[in-house]
Amino acid sequence: MSGGPGSSKRSATAPDECRRRAPVSLRLVRIDDRLIHGQVVASWLRAIGAQRIVIVDDATARDEFLREVLTLAAPEGVPVEVHDVASGAARCSELARTPEPVIVLARSPRTMLALRQAGVPIEVVDLGGMGAGPGRRRLHKTISVSPEEIRELRELEQLGTRVEIQIVADDRPISFRSLDSGN
Amino acid sequence: MFRKFAAFGGCLALALLLAAALPSVALAAGPGTSAGTPTISVSIWQAALIAIGYYLANSPWLFGLAFFTLYRPLVAGLLVGVILGDPAQGTLVGAAINVPFLAFGSYGGTLPIDPGFAGWVGVTLALAGHLDPATAVSIAFGLGLLGTIIFYTRMALDSVFAHWADARAEKADIAGVALMNWLPGQAFLFVASFVPVFIFALNGPSAVQDVLNRLPLWGVNGLVIAGGILPAIGIALNMRFIFRGSAIPYFFIGFILMTASHGSMSLVVVAALGLALAYLHLSFVRRDSPAHAATAATTATGATGATGATGAMAIPGTEPALRLTRGDLIRSWALWTFFAHANYNYERLQGTGFAHAMTPIIKRLYSTEDEIRAALKRHLVFFNTEPNFGNVVHGTVIAMEEQRANGAAIDDDAINSVKSGLMGPMAGIGDTLSQNTITPILLALGIGIAGGQAGGTAVPTLSNAVGNPLGAILYTIAISVVIVAIGYTAWMQGYARGRSFVTEILRSGTIDRVLIGAGVLGNMVLGALAATFVVVNLAPTVNIAGAQMNLQAAIIDPLFPGALALGLVLMTWWLLRRQVSPLAILAAYLVISILAAYPFFGPGQKNAGDYSYQACTSSLLHQYSPCGAPPAPTAQLSPAPSVQP
């Protein structure tokens, strides 16, 4: 609860109003450990008509080479920005106020939580790709989570952000809560 | 998600088949013995060959190319045709079935629909059951949805085998890891794909024909009408990728070329024109994107330090003690090309495939058990990229392994971060190139050649066309050459030049130019294909100067030939852009097609034989052609038997 009860209430209701009046600018806010790849470029980008991709990831922002590859990997005409968490939060909040449809990508729930706590108005977080590994439990198809990440995702829900699994745009979203309840 | 698909496919295909199975069993009428119906002849051996064909379409054995070839209904159609003794008709039906699947792509373990199942089973049903190709298109869509069950079962089960590979890695057993990547997964896949297709191939044709015989004629006509309408979905799905910006006019050029020539223009000619126009477009209309050029310029200065070649050959001075041979590289590449998806699973996707591909490298570079174990485990983790262009990742990683074995300070983290950092972006580019651009364009060309030989009438239809196996053969050759060339080049360049190759090829704008040129060509071919395969025939008549004239034949088509088909395609594209689900559109179009065949306005019919002409004006849409003249009867055109048993 960074901004007090008043602000959190407002940010929880604001997306609903937006949905009725104008499309939400942060059209897809997605956790995906591969960041930009086929599902994002081939399915999501076209399906929602996004015109910009914002990547928020501290490690990638430090890596000159990966930054350039990601910048050049998106289809022509779709600018890609790579930010660390601090500048990413400011940039997302700024973009959320513009009409331009944007895709926001982060590698981990922790980054997403940090964005949310910094006041970025995120209505839905999409779990798009979280690989398996030691200590990780499979939640659904290609989505695996660590206990730590479960806690972070629950915290996101408590902040009023819905967490859903929707791997490609044509899939029907599955709520994280429905899969988490059996835990 | 897949449950919804499966349920839908089940309703459409299974119900159709099984509902009729009981009566035919009760009558004890074996296949091919019932009087009045054309002979249905799928022998046990033919069914087994077809089932093996479908397994091969999913298997790694054909140099990893099955996904681009046997898995596509166009190619499956030719092969089923060869097995059942009618390659031309098989190719034609395969081509028709393939159109709605034109935009098919599988990204990161998702499979919206299974074109392989639709192709192998759909063409079998059509050939053996003597179905109209258009009817086969409708049925095949349901089959495609049903087939996804096989894929999703396999994706879940193969995760288990990844753990078997882990156990082998723990024992530093290189051959064991390789074996676990293919043997258990393929054994399961063989059973899971052989059995259902064998059963469908053996029993499906008579069951389908039985059902069709029991349907009222307007129901059968509805399926034929749907067969002309459903291709609009495949074409519109594909348009989502290429029908953009300055490339849009080329779609209309392709469409008009085809309708203006009454479908007589060869798709090869359209494609040749498309290539010429693509060159002009790149030269005069569309120069290098300023946005991209600017990005490249700003990043170029800072990035040079990070883009040094990673290949061991580039280390100056020292001669490395452990050198990979060209043979090691080729073996490794071949193993990947074959087995990347042999054990595809939800947990690691291509993870075990990557480890399998690294086995020749590990054998050469590492000798102690600890090193081998560590290397195997390092490469058994989650991995997924586009398996052709994405090979730059493997090449780069192999070069890093070589340096590491020679004592360079490269830790697990460095290798993992290259893999996990590059696999995504390379998949994004690779999928755009191979799955969204090259495959659909070559497929569209092949389909056009395969189904383009109209039977000499003014209005060519699927029912009077003669299939041309050359379409399937040329497609197979072309796609194989392109895919292997991309995969091999990316692998070897990734090894020799590593990161600098990646940045160089991205900065050069070559990929953008290829995509823009392909967009021009693709739009032309897609437009031409829409004119051939999307069929809308209005039935109602209007009174013009005292004479009853068909609305479409008298007014719409003289003004703009094919306007209704074009309108349908554009409307479908618009719906998709409004984020209406393709499945919802499919369901709606099926219902509309069947309703539109119902004789609301006029005399129903007592005899099946005289329906199509006399009752023509009584429904909204008509199959084959706008009403006016009855279609020439052909052998394939008789879904209903004239003799009542």
Q: What is the CATH number of the domain that holds A114?
A: 3.40.35.10
Beta bridge partners of A83: A56
Looking at residue B219, its pLDDT comes to 85
Beta-carbon neighbour count of residue B167 at 10 Å? 12
Dist. CA B569–CA B590, nearest whole Å: 15
User: Nearest C-alpha of chain B: how many angstroms from A171?
Assistant: 6
Q: Tell me, what's the pLDDT at B332?
A: 97
Contact criterion met (CB below 8 Å) for A39 and B108: yes
CB atoms within 10 A of CB B620: 18
For the cut 70, the answer to whether the pLDDT of residue B637 exceeds it is: no
Which amino acid appears at position B386 of this protein?
Answer: E
Mean pLDDT of B451-466: 57
- CA B494 to the chain's CA centroid: 28
- Sequence-separated (6 or more) residues with CB below 8 Å from residue B570: none
A78 touches chain B (CB under 8 A): no
Q: What pLDDT is stored for residue B286 in this prediction?
A: 67
Of B631 and B480, the structure prediction assigns the larger pLDDT to B480
State the pairing for strand pair A80-83/A52-56: parallel
* CA distances (Å), origin B2, targets A84, B583, B588: 37, 12, 19
Chain A residues within 8 A of B107 when measuring between CB atoms: 37-39, 42-43, 168
Query: What backbone phi and psi angles, to 5 degrees, belong to B542?
Result: -125, 155
Name the percent of chain B lying above pLDDT 70. 80
Distance CA B29, CA B314 (A): 74
Residues A43-80 pLDDT 10s: 898 888 899 999 999 999 999 989 999 988 888 889 99
Confirm if B241 and A46 have CB atoms less than 8 A apart.
Answer: yes
Q: What is the ipTM of this complex?
A: 0.80
Long-range contacts, B409-415 (Cβ 8 Å, 24+) = B412/B374, B412/B378, B415/B378
User: Which residues constitute the domain of residue A85?
Assistant: 24-180
Determine contact: A37 vs chain B, CB below 8 A.
yes
Residue B581 is assigned to a structural domain of this protein? yes
* Residue B585 counted as domain residue: yes
pLDDT of residue B220: 84
Question: Could you give phi then psi for residue A47, rounded to 5 degrees?
Answer: -65, -40
B428 inside 8 A of chain A by CB: yes
Strand pairing category for A143-145 and A80-83: unpaired
Domain assignment present for residue A13? The answer is: no
Q: Chain A residue with minimal CA distance to B513?
A: A76
Is A8 within a domain?
no
DSSP B112-169: S--HHHHHHHHHHHHHHTT--HHHHHHHHHHHHHHHHHHHHHHHHHHHHHHHHHHHHH
Residue of B nearest to A174 (CA): B1
Q: How far apart (Å, rounded) are the C-alpha atoms in residues B74 and B444?
A: 10
Closest-CA distance, A34 to chain B, in angstroms, reads: 5
Q: How many CA atoms lie within 13 A of A120 on its CB side?
A: 28
Nearest to A142 among B1, B109, B583 (CB): B109
Closest chain A CA to residue B152: A141
When pLDDT is averaged across residues B466-495 and rounded to a whole number, the result is 95
**Per-residue confidence at B630, pLDDT binned at 50, 70, 90?**
very low
Q: Do A69 and B506 touch (CB under 8 A)?
A: yes
Q: Are B4 and A172 a contacting pair at CB < 8 A?
A: yes
* CA–centroid distance for B128 within its chain: 23
Whether pLDDT at B11 is above 50: no
Q: What is the pLDDT of residue A77?
A: 83
From chain B, pick out residues whose CB is under 8 angstroms from the CB of A172.
1, 4
Nearest CA in chain B to A168: B110
The answer as to whether B423 is a domain residue is: no
Residue A3 in domain: no
Does residue B227 fall inside a structural domain?
no
Predicted pLDDT at A15: 43
pLDDT of residue B263: 78
Cβ pair B425:A171 closer than 8 A: no
Q: How many domains does chain A have?
A: 1
DSSP run (H or E) holding B486: helix B470-497
pLDDT exceeds 50 at position B636: no
Structural domain contains residue B37: no
Three-class SS of residue B439? helix
pLDDT of residue B360: 97
Structure tokens given for B377: 């485990």
Cα gap B470→B268, rounded to integer Å: 12
pLDDT band at B627 (very low <50, low <70, confident <90, very high): low
Q: What is the pLDDT of residues B585-595, one digit of tens each?
A: 999 999 999 88
Nearest by CB to A133, which of B381, B385, B499?
B381
Q: Are A34 and B420 in contact (CB under 8 A)?
A: yes
For tokens 């099926």, the residue is: B590
A23 touches chain B (CB under 8 A): no
B579 touches chain A (CB under 8 A): yes
**Residue B22 pLDDT:** 35
pLDDT confidence band for A6 (50 / 70 / 90): very low
Q: Which of residues 328-357 of B touch A (CB under 8 A)?
A: 346-349
Give chain A positions within 8 Å (CB) of B240.
46-47
Q: Average pLDDT of B421-431?
A: 93
Closest Cα in chain B, distance from residue A172 (Å): 6
User: How many Cβ atoms from other residues are within 10 Å of residue A181's Cβ?
Assistant: 8
Any idea what DSSP says for residue B453? B
**Phi and psi, residue B473, nearest 5°:** -70, -45
pLDDT at position B304 is: 37
Q: What is the mean pLDDT of chain A?
A: 85
Instruction: Find the distance separating the first CA and the last CA of chain A, reported in whole Å.
Output: 25
Question: Tokens representing B91?
Answer: 């190719």
Q: Helices B326-339 and B391-405 sit at what angle, rounded to 10 degrees?
A: 140
Average pLDDT on A10-39 reads: 67
* Phi and psi angles of residue B304, each rounded to the nearest 5 degrees, phi first: -60, -35
Q: Which of B49-53, B362-366, B379-383, B625-629 has the lowest mean pLDDT?
A: B625-629
What does the pLDDT read at residue B287?
54
For residue B596, give its domain range: 541-637
pLDDT at A162 over 70: yes
User: Are B351 and B377 spatial neighbours (Cβ–Cβ below 8 Å)?
Assistant: no
A31 lies in some domain: yes
pLDDT tens per residue, range B349-365: 999 999 999 999 999 99
In sign, the C-alpha dihedral spanning B500, B506, B509, B512 is: positive
Whether B268 is covered by a domain: the verdict is: no
| pLDDT at residue B21 is higher than 60 | no
Most confident range, picked from A136-140, A163-167, B205-209: A163-167
Return the minimum-mean-pLDDT range out of B26-30, B262-266, B327-331: B26-30
What's the pLDDT at B28? Answer: 35
pLDDT greater than 70 at residue B313: no
User: Closest Cα to residue B449, out of B271, B277, B278, B569?
Assistant: B271
Q: Is A63 on the interface with B (CB under 8 A)?
A: yes
Query: Which active-site residues of A does the annotation give?
Result: 37
Q: Which of B303, B347, B515 sits opposite A68 (nearest CB)?
A: B303
Chain segment B374-393, per-residue pLDDT in tens:
999 999 999 999 999 999 99
Q: Return d(Cα A82, Cα A67) in angstroms, integer.
A: 7
Instruction: Give the model's pLDDT for residue B132.
Output: 86
| A51 domain residue, yes or no | yes
A106 to A34, A40, A86, B174: CA distances (angstroms): 9, 12, 13, 35
* Average pLDDT in chain B: 83
pLDDT at B40: 64
CA separation for the pair B223, B226 (Å, rounded): 5
B118-150 pLDDT per residue, tens: 999 999 999 999 888 889 998 998 899 999 999
- Residue B57 identity (one-letter amino acid): A
Specify the pLDDT at position A72: 87
- A68, B515: Cβ pair inside 8 Å? no
How many structural domains is chain B composed of? 1
Q: Is A167 on the interface with B (CB under 8 A)?
A: yes
CA distances from B4 to B90, B137, B152, B195, B511 (A): 30, 21, 13, 23, 37
Q: Say yes or no to pLDDT of B34 above 80.
A: no
- pLDDT bin (cut points 50, 70, 90) of residue B394 is very high
- Say whether residue A86 is in contact with chain B using an 8 A CB cutoff: no
Check residue B168 and give its pLDDT: 97
Residue type, position B247, single letter: A
